[in-house]
Amino acid sequence: MKSELPNLAGPFADEIMAFLKYKRQLRKSYLTEAFDLRLFDRYLFQLEITEKQLVTNRVVEAFLNSRPRKTSRSFNGLLGTLRRFFSWLVLQEIISHSPVSIQPKRRGIARRPFILSCAQVEQLLNAASNLRTTKHAPRRGHTYRMIFALLFTLGLRVSEVTNLKIADVDRERDLLIIRETKFLKSRLVPFGPNLAEKLATYIAFCCANGRTPEQPLFSFDPKRNRPIARGSIGNTFRRLLPYLNLQLRPGENRPRLHDLRHSMAVGTLLRWYQEGKDPSNLLLQLSTYLGHSDISATAVYLEMTEELLHAAGQRFEKFASPLIGGRQT
């Protein structure tokens, strides 16, 4: 792993490095938090603050105000990073008390994910296939179709897709090797024969153009080992949404890229109901497949839809009808 934050120059430079090392030993990636602490260090350096005791709540508040966040979640994330850092410094007896006394912003109503149907995802994939190839993006349509297919079919995080190497596709066992993803965990994600065929075709194209197994699976700049950026994938997804002809209900939000992962989880649950399986006995499998540490994290993805309610209702009716009938006789 490359060294983190090589140019720290503020009064807490050494402590930030030690704090991040401590978090990594706990198997936490802490990439976003490392970036936030870099911003804080630079802010202190620009103010020419060189003594730890000069970092007060007023300084922390001024830093937060200098980094305007559009949502309360984003603001609270930055505040939480600083709060945890200074609390750790207190535990290490480096400072006597934390200078952070700012309260987090109140969060509004959580955004409900948009659950895409299989038909809508098929429209998305077809629209992606028609993307025009450019000089800097060869086989652009084929590439984005493959990306969106992995995000939906396997429920991958977008970071997991961008981090894939060609060698991470195990074509003998038909599975992906997801390396050191969230919480620095790795896992194996199996896939079916249809996806295996499409991946084989895509990889054959990559190898025919001189790509090596250690290069990114999805890249328009393989010579520099640069995968397609997450922001580029998100922007492309948003540009393709009009081709889906979505009829949004009042108060309903347009789909986000991460909603493909939500859609996979809900679709899996619905399929289990339709196949007569007991989802309560299979949720642990879904949780493991998605890379969650516990089932409660998976439950966040199980948005209740009309189809899911109907399927669950039919299952309950099938279960309860003999009992009801027995009482009536």
- 191-211, pLDDT tens digit by residue? 999 999 999 999 998 888 788
Domain ranges of the chain: 13-91, 118-244, 260-328
Q: What is the pLDDT of residue 263?
A: 94
Q: Which two tokens stand for residue 119?
A: 């038909």
Residue 182 has pLDDT above 70, yes or no: no
Distance CA 72, CA 300 (A): 19
Q: How far is CA 141 from CA 1, 130, 138, 233, in A?
A: 32, 6, 9, 12
Q: What is the pTM of this model?
A: 0.71
pLDDT for residue 3: 42
Strands 187-190 and 169-170: unpaired
| Residues linked to residue 221 through DSSP beta bridges, in sequence order | 226
pLDDT value of residue 127: 97
Q: What percent of the chain shows pLDDT beyond 70?
A: 89
Q: What pLDDT does 2 receive?
A: 42
Higher-pLDDT residue of 13 and 32 is 13
Q: Which of the residue ranges 26-30, 162-166, 265-269 would you say has the lowest mean pLDDT?
A: 26-30
What does pLDDT average to over the chain?
Answer: 87
**Does position 1 have pLDDT exceeding 50, yes or no?**
no
62 or 275, which is more confident? 62
Q: Which CATH number fits domain 118-244: 1.10.443.10, 3.30.1490.100, 3.40.50.720, 1.10.287.3510?
A: 1.10.443.10
Position 65 scores a pLDDT of 92
Residue-wise pLDDT for 275-288, tens only, equals 888 888 888 889 98
CA atoms within 13 A on the CB side of 166: 21
Question: Of 73-77, 136-140, 230-234, where does the model show the most confidence?
Answer: 230-234
Q: Is the pLDDT of residue 328 over 50?
A: no
For residue 166, name the pLDDT band (cuts at 50, 70, 90): very high
For residues 326 and 314, give the distance between their C-alpha atoms in angstroms, rounded to a whole number: 19
Q: In this predicted model, what pLDDT tens digit does every residue of 219-269 receive, in sequence order?
A: 998 888 899 999 999 999 999 999 998 988 777 789 999 999 999 999 998
The predicted pLDDT at position 317 comes to 61
For range 151-156, the mean pLDDT: 96
Q: Please indicate whether residue 306 or residue 53 has the higher confidence score (pLDDT).
A: 53
Can you point out the beta strands (E) in the chain?
A: 169-170, 175-178, 187-190
- Cβ(314)–Cβ(307) below 8 Å: no
In degrees, to the nearest 5, what angle opens at C-alpha 310 toward C-alphas 309 and 314?
A: 115
